[in-house]
Structure 1
Amino acid sequence: MSDDASGLIHHPDGCPRCWWPGLDPVYVAYHDTEWGVPEHDGRALYEKLILDGFQAGLSWITILRRREGFRKAFAGFDPEAIARFTEADVARLMDDTGIIRNRAKIVGTIAGARAFLAIEERGPGFSRFLWDFVDGTPIKGTATDRTGIATQTEVSRRMSKALKTQGFTFCGPTIVYAFMQAVGLVNDHLVGCHRHAACAASGGAA
């Protein structure tokens, strides 16, 4: 592996990648198969938004390594099931070592499930609600080095405000921008990364 000044890491397999996964195989797999791929499934978008909220103050790899634990604890991130969680479920989750045990974030997950269902009931759904912020088409990142990657944007600030209005928590503009990057609302792979073109080719409305 070699790391150049742009922030690209050149792995032994010959593929240049963004700097942030390093050599961690779990992180590299996530970078290569999930991050930046446009996601249009509402439930998957809800899951990722919630997990990004749990990430606040932590590293994403910490959450990624516990993702299956989160899925088990939160009923596969089925919003209908989570919306019915009670105080007893909150207490159960506070004893679950497979997740990050933060009461405010657990309660926020339940509130987010109820907000998700309200958006779904009003139509046209949570996925459309989010994708409308980018007019249905991923924003094309053009950064050639890590200094060109934003931490928040005008779009993430508007989305953050809208999500909070709907009842979501732990969705500030920086968290929301990380979410947008992860689910392909913006393609922020560095231009020299081998995934940049692939993600760009998979963009567009569902």
Structure 2
Amino acid sequence: MTKRTAAKYKIDRRMGENIWGRPKSPLNKREYGPGQHGQRRKGKMSDFGLQLRAKQKLKGYYGDMTEKQFRRIYADAERRRGDTGEILIGLLESRLDAIVYRAKFVPTVFAARQFVNHGHVLVNGKAVNIPSYRCKEGDVIEVRAKSKQLTVLLEAVQLAERDVPDYVEADHSKMTATFVRMPGLSDVPYPVIMEPNLVIEFYAQN
């Protein structure tokens, strides 16, 4: 479904965590980094290293996002009133590809990007093929009629490894989802601990 199938496992091993909670992650068998030096004992990480790792983990979780895209979202979060870290998470989760993934229309965040790119999704009745499209509260995301019998869609809906979070209302009989509200960090079902506060520190200092 995506060119990043192998790369997502590399991201897991580089981070040392199964960041999507996938059953096939190599981290389930080998809890160390890639390469011939992957099993070496790691020294204490610097503050910069911890901040960079937190940023790379959060950015990597959302798939093919570039540094430029991620920094733009951070800049938007920084401009808004409130906790910048919480707002950053909310903005990431309001992306169309993230909502498609949360609604369980696809098995992975990488597949969500491709699913949107290929024109399988409508937002409020209009075709949208931009994965980074930012949805608003109350927006209705729907799988196009001709796409509702796709194998990847029917298989994803049956996945037992994750649930639809409460800020997304999904109706799998109609293949629709409503973005109810912008979530905070505690609302998002990340399989690992995300630290947006460290991401904010990273950008504030670099």
TM-score, normalised by the number of residues in structure 2: 0.25
Structure showing the higher helix proportion among its residues: 1
RCO (CA 8 Å, sep 6+): is it higher in 1 or 2? 1
